[in-house]
Chains A and B, each alone.
Chain A
Amino acid sequence: DVKVTQSSRYLVKRTGEKVFLECVQDMDHENMFWYRQDPGLGLRLIYFSYDVKMKEKGDIPEGYSVSREKKERFSLILESASTNQTSMYLCASSAPGTSRPYEQYFGPGTRLTVT
């Protein structure tokens, strides 16, 4: 089974701190994604990556950056955390060349609170 793990389930940070959210997948997937989930808004795409060192902006990239130095790891970075970035963050991965090419596998999520 595909496994997508995220470094923390719960995280509390102060306004202005630099925050790193880590995501690791164990199935050699090319594509990786970061979403944020807010009640009443569903999930919204922040950034995604097709390959190592490649990144594409999603629908709401402002205030975020990403890093993908290794194929299995995709990091979301909040350069200066703000209270409006308090949210649940979900990572996902997918592999175009498989029998289920467009299925995204999700991690358990990181609930980030910025105070």
Chain B
Amino acid sequence: AQTVTQSQPEMSVQEAETVTLSCTYDTSESNYYLFWYKQPPSRQMILVIRQEAYKQQNATENRFSVNFQKAAKSFSLKISDSQLGDTAMYFCAFMKISGGGADGLTFGKGTHLIIQP
């Protein structure tokens, strides 16, 4: 079984600042994906960014980027030029890839990110 740990229950930064959310995971699997999901207040969960374990290059999506350290089993999310709309719960998630298709996600407990004006 795998576990995902997010050590920051809540973070608060000023608008336009850069913020990094931490995530570590534990697994014996070699083939897997890592994700960051965002859940805005009273709105649906949406995917922010995805990283394939076999790729060494860190994923980037506009203002969002990850620092994937496979040996250390670390997967942090960096948000640059933070905006008020980034206020949300952020979940780190792990998915092992099995031969028959995808399994479910294993989530961390989440980080509540507040962007202050």
Q: Which residues of A contact B (CB under 8 A)?
A: 30-31, 33, 35, 40-45, 48, 50, 58-59, 90, 92, 94, 96, 100-104, 106-109
Q: In the complex, A40 Cα to B57 Cα: how many Å?
A: 32
> Hey, which bits of chain B sit against chain A, CB under 8 A?
4, 6, 9, 33, 43-47, 50, 91, 95, 97, 100-110
| Docked complex Cα distance between A33 and B45 (Å) | 14
User: A40: which of B50, B95, B97, B109 is its contact (CB, 8 Å)?
Assistant: B109
Known interface pairs A42-B110, A43-B91; A106-B105 also in contact (CB < 8 Å)? no
Say yes or no: A43-B105 contact (C-beta < 8 A), given A50-B100, A102-B50. yes
Q: How many A-B residue pairs have CB under 8 A?
A: 55
A75–B108 CA distance with the chains assembled, in angstroms: 25
Pair B45/A96 contact, Cβ less than 8 Å: no
In the complex, what residue of chain B is closest to A33 when comparing beta carbons?
B104
**Interchain CB contact under 8 A, A30 and B105:** no
23 A-B contacts (beta carbon < 8 Å):
A31-B101, A31-B102, A40-B9, A42-B4, A42-B6, A42-B91, A43-B91, A43-B107, A44-B107, A45-B106, A48-B103, A50-B101, A58-B104, A90-B45, A92-B45, A102-B50, A103-B47, A103-B50, A104-B47, A104-B105, A107-B44, A108-B43, A109-B44
**Cβ–Cβ < 8 Å partners of A104 in chain B:** 47, 105
Task: Find the residue from A42, A90, A109 having the highest chain B CB count within 10 A.
Answer: A42
Q: How far is the CB of A43 from chain B (nearest CB, A)?
A: 4
* Nearest 4 pairs of A and B residues by beta carbon: A45-B104, A106-B45, A42-B107, A42-B109
Q: Are A102 and B102 in contact (CB under 8 A)?
A: yes
How far does the alpha carbon of A108 sit from the alpha carbon of B107 in the complex, in Å? 18
Q: How far is the CB of B24 from chain A (nearest CB, A)?
A: 14
**Nearest residue, chain A, Cβ from B97:** A102
Task: Using known A-B contacts A90-B45, A106-B44, A108-B44, determine if residue A96 contacts B106 with beta carbons closer than 8 Å.
Answer: no
Residues of B within 8 A of A106 (CB): 44-46
